Amino acid sequence: MVAWLQYVPEMVERLTELERVVSLKWSTPDGGRTYAKGVANFADRLAVVDNQGLQVLTHMLGGTGYITHLATVWPEHDLSLWDRMGAGDYVGAMGEFQSVNWPWLDFRGKIGTRTGGESNTVKAALELRGRPGGPCRLPTRALNDEERAELRELLTRIGVPDIH
């Protein structure tokens, strides 16, 4: 892993010289200093999109977006989070992120260890909001009744509207 951490920033540096490379979906195994240095280093040349789950830090360092499955279920939350960050309310954004995204990610991680994927949580959450989620494809398995009940409670607790 040490070789990877040393090599990847150099490779991305070379990619920034290519005219057609305009964005970077960024994540690192350590999730800490190497990640933050990468965002800070490349944000002036590329649209850096967080894939690490560090949305607030990424925005503070010049990132321009982030990946989240929760936006599929509750886009209003992510628009609110983005607006807070855009206004420089990083403390408020972090509070919102901790109270909503961390419980969601904890649940998704727990379910993923049983089913081998993450789309099943999104599909079930969409259905709990009255929207079509569709069937899971193997090897991912649908949530069982107990997991769906736990997800329903979680979505209600974090404030997702219109849970059925």
| 12-59 tens-digit pLDDT | 888 889 999 999 998 888 777 888 988 999 999 999 999 989 999 999
Q: 46: closest CA among 65, 69, 31, 27?
A: 65
Q: Can you say whether residue 154 is alpha, beta or left, with left for phi > 0 and alpha for psi between -120 and 50 degrees?
A: alpha
> How many CA atoms lie within 13 Å of 29's alpha carbon, on the beta-carbon side?
8
**Total-model pTM:** 0.85
pLDDT in tens, 59-88: 999 999 999 999 999 999 999 999 999 999
Helix residue ranges per DSSP H, 43-89: 55-60, 70-73, 75-86
